[in-house]
Amino acid sequence: MECCPNPPELRWILDVAVAVLPPKDSRTLRKQFAALDELW
């Protein structure tokens, strides 16, 4: 892997993590991701 990977290419890892979280935690993390997505 490169020094600085491309976040969109690795987003699938985060999507898998969110999928296995309990619903409340999943919603919280998705909201945080949405805020970060706006910065990128």
- Boundaries of every domain in the chain: 7-39
Which candidate, 16, 19, 13, 18, places its Cα nearest to that of 1?
13
Looking at residue 2, what is its pLDDT?
60
Looking at residue 1, what is its pLDDT?
52
Whether the predicted model's global pTM rises above the 0.85 cut: no
Q: Using one digit for the tens of pLDDT, what is the confidence trace for 1-40?
A: 567 777 777 888 889 999 999 999 999 999 998 998 888 7
Looking at residue 9, what is its pLDDT?
76
Element (H, E) at 37: helix 23-39
